[in-house]
Structure 1
Amino acid sequence: MATATATVERGVHAGAPKRGLLSRGVDKLGGGAVQVVMILIGLFWLVPTLGLLVVSMRSVAVNNAEGWWTIFTKPAELTLANYSNLLATGFTASFWNTIAITVPTTILVIGIAAMAAYAFAWMDFPGRDLLFLIVVGLLIVPIQVALIPMASFYGGTGMFGSIPSVVLFHVAFGLPFAIFLLRNFFVGIPASLLEAARMDGAPEWKIFASIVFPLGKPAIASLGIFQFLWVWNDMLIALVFANPDSQPMTKALQSQMRQFGNNIDILSSGAFLSLIIPLILFFAFQRYFVQGMMAGSVK
């Protein structure tokens, strides 16, 4: 008996995975040291953003003569003239066009995908699995294959060059991933909650609104962040479907680069304005990024 017990103990110890040097070092240093290292990495990641901000608030002559880091000894060189010049070029209209494209796209993708994901996860209807496989297959379809057909369609309907045309294109290509992400999260909700609601006579729309949607807020919020950032930073779709009256900031900056390649004051200030809102959004909801990636993992 003692021999068998010793054999089992040796097997347990032999099968235990060996911890790496880095793992043992983390235990010795403690969580505080790890947090300090992560903070330093985060600050290092923000250095280019700080440099862009400084460049956007200095004159062209100063930027050509000195590096941006000299601002710590010469803070009087900062000025808002670059932003005034940028707004004089009509960049404000492009900013509002970006809002008009990004916000409706994000809302439509979340609303449609959440209802479709609930249907795929918890409703039984003919062809459900086949339709979901088609949705998953659409994930690998590149955007470029639809540019010419959609341009022809928009031209025939008179939508080409308008903001709705850009919004609809983003919604169409944002839905497959959104449905896949939310469906994988919704199937993890305990079935007993939904069955109890059905036994109480609650219709499907009420179950979705009162149970599934509130429990799915982490995945829905992370999806909203992803979708917002994708559309906000997009330039390909804007280059193809947006005209000068409906162009977002990405296309406006690209046109400024073509026309005024040496105007670093215009480009830097415009780039920082385009960057600041996604940056604020990231820091405000960064905890949802990890939850969103976990929601899309295999169940």
Structure 2
Amino acid sequence: MSGHSTIERRPSPPPAKTPAPEPTRVPAPRRRRTGRLTGLLGNGAVQAILIVVALVWITPLAGLFLSSMRSDGDNAAKGWWTALTDPGQLSLDNYTALFADSGITQAFWNTVLISVPTTVLVVVIAALAGYAFAWLEFPGRNAIFLVVVGLLVVPVQIGLLPVAKLFGTIGLFGTIPGVILFHVAYGLPFAIFLLRNYFAEIPREMLEAARMDGGSEWRIFTRLILPLGRPALASLAIFQFLWVWNDMLVALLFADSESQPLTVALQSEMRQFSSNIGVLAPGAFLSLVVPLVVFFAFQRHFVQGVMAGSVK
């Protein structure tokens, strides 16, 4: 045996692993009541409700359309819904008689001659003024814009008699240009307010880059502002067209028998022949279907304009 003792080295135990911390659980946000209600009802129930609402909205239109294609005797004897089971009641005789009436056809074209120029003038002037108030610097800009906003609260009834006297003095009373001018004057405050706020949301960097590239204000307005503002312009055009097309108060005062629109002509027919459904029903449906066609034709732009003001 050797005098030196051998020391046996044992391997040290591996260090204990520290348990990994448990992930912190973030409480799930509470669902809103509307989301909870939608989840309870389900997509099928929501679609059923929307279908019911659509039917309630379409039913008067369908009743007016079917009544306009039935004779006075059928309208007086039975309800319009009987035409669904008896299509033999329907004919185009009422529309033939309506378009043969020179007074109604003239009133229809008067409505077109009033509504279209008014809409175009309001949109063009408001677009120019909205761009000026939003991005151009000139003396009194804020004060003038406050005056424009203040005109929004002026009721149209206040200006009827004074403007009628003014138009009578300058020879515009009882004419189509007089009706157009009145609608343009009272449609501009809201139109300028709407487009100015929309144009002001356009990033300033885009306009500065266009100016640095040598673009004039007119070129910036036509090539940049108008394309970007197309949803707002389309929404304004739809609203203005509907307001003017369905107006009767202004036309009743400012238009004479030669320049009266369709709404005044139908009101005159109702006053003279209150039971003549064969004339009133097709005339009312004709007055209703044109705004519907315009709305559905520009529906995509209208929805974009509404959503642009609510979604950033």
Question: Do Structure 1 and Structure 2 share a fold, with TM-score over 0.5?
Answer: yes
Q: 1:54 maps to what in 2?
A: 66
* Percent of aligned pairs with the same amino acid: 60
Task: Supply the distance in 2 between the matched residues of 1:120 and 1:293 (Cα, whole angstroms).
Answer: 21
Q: 1:66 maps to what in 2?
A: 78
Task: Supply the distance in 2 between the matched residues of 1:240 and 1:234 (Cα, whole angstroms).
Answer: 11
Task: Supply the distance in 1 between the matched residues of 2:51 and 2:131 (Cα, whole angstroms).
Answer: 39
CA drift at 1:45: 0.8
Task: Supply the distance in 1 between the matched residues of 2:42 and 2:209 (Cα, whole angstroms).
Answer: 45
Residues 3-30 of structure 1, C-alpha deviations (whole Å, 9 max, x = no match) = xx78xx57xx6xx55522x522423555
CA drift at 1:138: 0.5
Q: 1:93 maps to what in 2?
A: 106
Residues 107-154 of structure 1, C-alpha deviations (whole Å, 9 max, x = no match) = 000000000000011111111111111111111111111111111111
Secondary structure of the corresponding residue to residue 256 of structure 2? coil
Letter in 2 for 1:185: Y
Closer/same/farther in 2, CA of residues 225 and 62 from structure 1, 3 Å limit:
same
Task: Supply the distance in 1 between the matched residues of 2:263 and 2:129 (Cα, whole angstroms).
Answer: 31
Letter in 2 for 1:282: F
CA drift at 1:161: 0.5
Residues 173-223 of structure 1, C-alpha deviations (whole Å, 9 max, x = no match) = 000000111111111111111000111111101000000000000000010
Asked if 1:135 corresponds to 2:148, the answer is: yes
Which residue, out of 209, 216, 236, partners 1:203?
A: 216
TM-score w.r.t. length of structure 2: 0.87
Secondary structure of the corresponding residue to residue 79 of structure 1? coil
Q: 1:191 maps to what in 2?
A: 204
Task: Supply the distance in 2 between the matched residues of 1:252 and 1:210 (Cα, whole angstroms).
Answer: 43
Secondary structure of the corresponding residue to residue 252 of structure 2? helix
Where does 1:102-251 land on structure 2 (aligned, <5 Å)?
Answer: 102-251=115-264
Task: Supply the distance in 2 between the matched residues of 1:279 and 1:179 (Cα, whole angstroms).
Answer: 25
Closer/same/farther in 2, CA of residues 147 and 113 from structure 1, 3 Å limit:
same
Secondary structure of the corresponding residue to residue 125 of structure 1? coil
TM-score w.r.t. length of structure 1: 0.90
Task: Supply the distance in 2 between the matched residues of 1:146 and 1:120 (Cα, whole angstroms).
Answer: 26
Task: Supply the distance in 2 between the matched residues of 1:132 and 1:175 (Cα, whole angstroms).
Answer: 12
Structure 1 unmatched ranges of 5 or more: none
Letter in 2 for 1:222: S
Structure 2 unmatched ranges of 5 or more: 1-20
Q: 1:83 maps to what in 2?
A: 95
Q: Compare 84-93 and 273-282 and name the one that shifted more.
A: 84-93
Secondary structure of the corresponding residue to residue 202 of structure 2? coil
Which residue, out of 281, 285, 300, partners 1:272?
A: 285
Aligned residues: 290
Secondary structure of the corresponding residue to residue 126 of structure 1? coil
Task: Supply the distance in 1 between the matched residues of 2:121 and 2:145 (Cα, whole angstroms).
Answer: 19
CA drift at 1:80: 1.4
Task: Supply the distance in 1 between the matched residues of 2:302 and 2:59 (Cα, whole angstroms).
Answer: 22
CA drift at 1:256: 0.4
Task: Supply the distance in 2 between the matched residues of 1:135 and 1:238 (Cα, whole angstroms).
Answer: 24
Letter in 2 for 1:44: V
CA drift at 1:88: 3.3
CA drift at 1:72: 1.3
CA drift at 1:297: 6.6
Task: Supply the distance in 1 between the matched residues of 2:38 and 2:297 (Cα, whole angstroms).
Answer: 28
Q: Compare 121-130 and 35-44 and name the one that shifted more.
A: 35-44
Residues 230, 301 of structure 2: 8 Å contact kept: no
Residues 161, 241 of structure 1: 8 Å contact kept: yes
Closer/same/farther in 2, CA of residues 177 and 17 from structure 1, 3 Å limit:
farther
